[in-house]
Amino acid sequence: MDDPREIRHAIRQGNFRRHTAGVAPGYVQGNVCILPREYAEEFRLFCERNPKPCPLLAMSAPGDPRLPELGADIDIRIDVPRYRVFRDGTLVEEVTDLRDLWRADLVTFVLGCSFSFEEALMAAGLPLRYVEQGRNVSMYRTSIDCASAGRFRGKLVVSMRPFKAADAIRAIEITARYPRAHGAPVHIGRPDLIGIGDLATPWAGDPTEVREDELPVFWACGITPQSVVLDAKPSLCITHAPGHMLVTDLENAALAQE
């Protein structure tokens, strides 16, 4: 399925309930975080202060399920294949429709995702080992503090992709052009310098082999805001389920800076 409108239509019909990795190539997918209005301004500020982990693509008006900047017909209550519902920071259920849970005070945030820059890396011929091996990217919690905003504070989470040095340099050049999809890496080389004890035991995702002639390269990860928000234990927080993103009408190419 190549058209984002078709995919969202299938999701609404209950005909698409799986991961969105690889669907609608060329179109931006977004991390979703829905919060009550009383947390919205603080979270917006957190995103503004931490643009690498939290590149804000769109923020809705309270109670409004539409996101016209990302797609004329988007209804955030029914357009994501699977949602996670957290109350006071604890996962209480996974659902496929938010209409019963919707409230007039809910504000939707959509954040850029590494799928956009990974497409550019692959187009440039740079191999992504975790994709080739059909695994999930390795993620680590670092010792790097995010800039805090009100109740939102915590450590930066990163994703890691190994590259030979010349490819790592090209990957930095390419991803620097995608500030709305996490941008350039935050670290390269020794994991211990950012508080990562053992690359073989990621905090989330699968381990990824780093070969003898490769450097681990670390990008700010879109899991960071979810980790930070849940630590703040908001009364309600709704996110996409891992890998089940919002597929938008925005083109990846439109995110690239020349």
Q: Is residue 188 a contact residue for its own copies (CB under 8 A)?
A: yes
Q: Which of 17, 103, 135, 190 binds its own copies (CB under 8 A)?
A: 190
Q: Is residue 122 a contact residue for its own copies (CB under 8 A)?
A: no
Query: Helix (H, G, I), strand (E, B), or coil: what is residue 12?
Result: helix
DSSP-derived secondary structure letter, 194: G
What CA–CA distance (Å, rounded) separates 19 from 38? Answer: 31
Q: Which of 67, 139, 158, 186 binds its own copies (CB under 8 A)?
A: 186
Q: Which of 95, 126, 169, 230 binds its own copies (CB under 8 A)?
A: 169
Exposure pattern of 32-44 as b/e (b: 16+ CB <10 Å)?
Answer: bbbbeeebbebbb
Binding region for its own copies (CB under 8 A) out of 18-26, 68-76, 168-176, 201-209? 168-176
Using DSSP bridges, classify how beta strands 56-59 and 106-111 pair: parallel, antiparallel or unpaired: antiparallel
Complex with its own copies: residue 81 or 185, whichever CB lies closer: 185
Residue written as token pair 């982990």: 53
Q: Which two tokens stand for residue 52?
A: 């690498």
Q: Is residue 168 a contact residue for its own copies (CB under 8 A)?
A: yes
Shortest Cβ distance from residue 163 to its own copies (Å)?
Answer: 10
What CA–CA distance (Å, rounded) separates 182 from 233? Answer: 25
Show contacts with its own copies in window 209-238 (CB under 8 A).
Answer: 213, 215
Q: Which two tokens stand for residue 136?
A: 């999930």
Q: Which of 161, 187, 240, 244 binds its own copies (CB under 8 A)?
A: 187
Complex with its own copies: residue 158 or 229, whichever CB lies closer: 158
Query: Helix (H, G, I), strand (E, B), or coil: what is residue 124?
Result: coil
List of residues contacting its own copies (CB under 8 A): 165-166, 168-170, 172-173, 176, 184-190, 193, 213, 215, 257-258
